[in-house]
Structure 1
Amino acid sequence: MPATVLPFLMFQGDGAEALEFYLSVFPGAAIEQIERYGEGGNAPAGSIKLARFRIGEQTVMCTDSPVKHAFTFTPSFSFFVECDSQDDVGRLGEILKQGGAELMPVGNYGFSTLFTWVSDRFGVSWQLNYA
């Protein structure tokens, strides 16, 4: 059996920017481990070779792929965030969707008191919920 299963985000050159953005958006978020490409590596110096960061109790891994791909993130994968307050749903939704998209506006959809689904400027989807 696997010891752990972690979400893994593969960016194409903007991983460091995304990581800094997530650390600024979520209070208490932190880098657990980071390795960057050096000079003469497969990717631009300073880009993320491999990182682990934590949002809440969830550890996430990410990288800046040195190989360019014809695919990126889709809403079929999203982070589901249980918020502590209704204000957090609105605040986080507004911040995360800047430069991205609002997939479902803030509202009561019957399965929770308040919910929104957004895609950030990096293409990562976030479902924000307040039960």
Structure 2
Amino acid sequence: MQKIATCLMFAGDQHGRAEKAMTLYTSVFEDSQVLSVDRYGSGEEEAEGTVRAARFVLAGREFLAMDSGRPHPFGFTPAMSLVVEFERPQELDQVFGRFSEGATVLMELQEYPFSRRFGWLEGRFGISWQLSLTRA
């Protein structure tokens, strides 16, 4: 059986932030944890201590993360975002509040024709998050 996981590469101005991002994300969602972190050592191709490869779980779903100090012609984009549906408005408000620190809000947290409460932001680590209440 095949397995698919999203990989988050922290490059450019996000380089060296993979571990901080994983720590924040796993502290916010239930059933979340960092599974493994392999760091670069002294004299290797990337900065010592940055993440070569990591595995973590958010709300039961596995992700991969890595730092890359090499120049890349791309970065994170809101065209690809992580969508989280909440059952309770207070949970949604709390997560949106934690993620908004240092973020660019793309859509304010409010009611829209497609959701009774929805917000979209590009967080301080460059990841785009769409947060909404489940449809009732």
Query: Scaled by the length of structure 1, what TM-score is found?
Result: 0.90
Q: Quote the Cα distance in structure 1 between the aligned partners of 2:119 and 2:92.
A: 7
Query: What 5-or-longer segments of structure 2 have no aligned partner?
Result: none
Query: What 5-or-longer segments of structure 1 have no aligned partner?
Result: none
How many residues in Structure 1 have an aligned counterpart in Structure 2? 130
Which residue of structure 1 aligns with residue 123 of structure 2? 120
The CA RMSD measured in Å over matched residues stands at: 1.5
Q: Percent identity?
A: 32
User: Is residue 68 of structure 2 the alignment partner of residue 69 of structure 1?
Assistant: no
Determine helix, strand or coil for the equivalent of 2:115.
coil
Determine helix, strand or coil for the equivalent of 1:41.
coil
2:104 to 93, 101, 105: 101
User: Is residue 41 of structure 2 the alignment partner of residue 38 of structure 1?
Assistant: yes
Which residue of structure 2 aligns with residue 56 of structure 1? 59
Deviations 1:16-40 (A, max 9, x none): 2212222223244201222111111
Q: Quote the Cα distance in structure 2 between the aligned partners of 1:116 and 1:10.
A: 24
User: Is residue 81 of structure 2 the alignment partner of residue 82 of structure 1?
Assistant: no
Could you tell me whether the CA contact under 8 Å between 2:89 and 2:133 is conserved in 1?
yes
Could you tell me whether the CA contact under 8 Å between 2:39 and 2:50 is conserved in 1?
yes
Determine helix, strand or coil for the equivalent of 1:33.
strand
Shift of 1:60: 0.8
